[in-house]
């Protein structure tokens, strides 16, 4: 992020403040309106004409996210593609990378820029399987670079949430300092004070892996999507103990409405011989994890005097109840003083950061100066 002045100035080039940076021409960039599913949101780059000879992959604890560029056959520009696989299904993402490498012009070999823990864990596997150059880029640096790229360069990427307008594309402040809360398998909270200037100020092990892990034991859901779907039909009041269940009404003296959750899963113990509905359980746990992250985010933002909080990570997955819960938690605790922002490509901050940073080349030298 280049500071307030850079936002909305229509600057065509995105350059990381980094010696190994590459330039992506983002003039006229937009999210393809034809792509309607959450997983298939290509970004069109109508003016990027330079050759791109690399792909990036962010290999996290749960998902491996890939970003790659294809040129338009007819005319200028091209598109950025986004695709993810479960990390443990190694064969799937390795063979996808293999296919991408095979499609590349024979005179220029593709390079892989990898980030996330798997860039270390699976480094030898990727190298031996693909026989390509593999560079590694730091996960936190990539997250911040990707955030800047999306915030500054991609219109209608970042949004805030209100009940009336679940995706509000108002002017994004884009100023420092801001806080990034990345909800992947675990949660990382990062304070960003300038271009590539950041500090990881907190984290939590209660993140996406927790929700998905517990629900895969407690419900018959076979996929994360299925779990989110059933969560949206559930009623958490059958599982959670509300203020009203304890007081019989609001507890207005300390500002708690009767509908406020007093204790997540608090009703289960009393009725432990009953079989609870998986949909109610899913919704309750989704609220519990999201509320907890929302409150943690607020407390960090308050302590560090930060007003703008960006939430990333595949945990969110465009799911309205999750976004609502996080946005509500920030609004409620900050009494409307802080704002939560979300991304349409929320799971790809790190992968996009790796794509534009090219840090990995530090470890494997460039084969050609024009290769990007």
Ligand X SMILES: Nc1ncnc2c1ncn2[C@@H]1O[C@H](COP(=O)(O)OP(=O)(O)O)[C@@H](O)[C@H]1O
Instruction: Give the binding site for ligand PAZ (CB under 6 A).
Output: 60-61, 116-117, 184-188, 203-205
CB nearer ligand X, residue 161 or residue 212: 212
Residue 249 CB contacts under 8 Å (≥ 6 apart), including other chains: 258
Residues 129-188 within binding reach of ligand X (CB under 6 A): 184-185
DSSP 101-142: HHHS-TTS--EEEEESTHHHHTHHHHHHHH-SEEEE--HHHH
Dist. CA 2–CA 261, nearest whole Å: 40
Closest approach of Cβ 169 to ligand PAZ, in Å? 26
Q: For residue 63, state whether it binds ligand X (rule: CB under 6 A).
A: yes
Q: For residue 288, state whether it binds ligand X (rule: CB under 6 A).
A: no
Q: For residue 208, state whether it binds ligand X (rule: CB under 6 A).
A: yes
Cβ atoms of residues 307 and 338 within 8 Å = yes
Distance of CA 309 to the CA centre of its chain: 13
Closest approach of Cβ 289 to ligand PAZ, in Å? 13
135 token code pair: 């560079």
**Contact stretch for ligand X (CB under 6 A) within 105-113, 119-127, 209-217, 259-267:** 209-217
The site that binds ligand X (CB under 6 A) totals a number of residues, namely 18
Distance of CA 276 to the CA centre of its chain: 31
CB nearer ligand X, residue 60 or residue 78: 60
Closest approach of Cβ 232 to ligand PAZ, in Å? 24
CB nearer ligand PAZ, residue 126 or residue 268: 126
Dist. CA 366–CA 372, nearest whole Å: 9
Dist. CA 193–CA 213, nearest whole Å: 34
Dist. CA 26–CA 47, nearest whole Å: 7
Q: For residue 353, state whether it binds ligand X (rule: CB under 6 A).
A: no
Binding residues for ligand X (CB under 6 A): 60-63, 86, 116, 184-185, 208-209, 211-212, 224, 313-315, 317, 347
């Amino acid at each position: 992020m280049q500071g307030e002045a850079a936002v909305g100035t229509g600057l065509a080039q995105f350059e990381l403040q980094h010696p190994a940076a590459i330039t992506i021409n983002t003039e006229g960039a937009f999210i393809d309106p034809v792509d309607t599913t959450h997983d298939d949101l290509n970004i069109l780059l109508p003016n990027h004409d330079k050759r791109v000879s690399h792909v990036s992959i962010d290999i996290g604890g749960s998902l491996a996210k890939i970003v790659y560029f294809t040129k338009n056959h007819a005319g200028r520009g091209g598109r950025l593609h986004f695709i993810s696989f479960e990390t443990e299904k190694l064969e799937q993402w390795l063979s996808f990378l293999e296919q991408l490498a095979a499609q590349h012009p024979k005179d220029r070999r593709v390079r892989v820029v990898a980030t996330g823990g798997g860039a270390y864990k699976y480094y030898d596997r990727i190298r031996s399987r693909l026989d390509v150059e593999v560079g590694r880029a730091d996960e936190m640096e990539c997250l911040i670079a990707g955030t800047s790229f999306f915030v500054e360069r991609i219109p209608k990427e970042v949004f805030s949430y209100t009940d009336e307008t679940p995706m509000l594309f108002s002017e994004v402040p884009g100023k420092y300092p801001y806080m990034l809360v990345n909800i992947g398998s675990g949660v990382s909270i990062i304070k960003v004070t300038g271009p590539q200037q950041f500090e990881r100020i907190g984290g939590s092990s209660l993140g996406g892996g927790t929700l998905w892990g517990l629900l895969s034991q407690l419900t018959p859901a076979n996929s994360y999507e299925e779990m989110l779907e059933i969560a949206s039909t559930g009623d958490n009041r059958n599982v959670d103990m509300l203020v009203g269940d304890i007081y019989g009404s609001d507890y207005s003296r300390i500002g708690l409405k009767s509908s406020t959750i007093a204790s997540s899963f608090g009703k289960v113990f009393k009725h432990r011989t009953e079989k609870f509905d998986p949909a109610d359980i899913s919704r309750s746990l989704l609220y519990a994890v999201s509320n907890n992250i929302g409150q943690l985010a607020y407390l960090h933002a308050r302590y560090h005097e930060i007003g703008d909080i960006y939430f990333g990570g595949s945990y969110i997955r465009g799911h309205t109840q999750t976004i609502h819960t996080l946005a509500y938690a920030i609004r409620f605790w900050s009494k409307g003083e802080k704002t939560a922002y979300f991304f349409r490509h929320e799971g790809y901050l790190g992968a996009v950061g790796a794509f534009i940073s090219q840090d990995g080349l530090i470890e494997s030298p460039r084969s050609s100066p024009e290769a990007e």
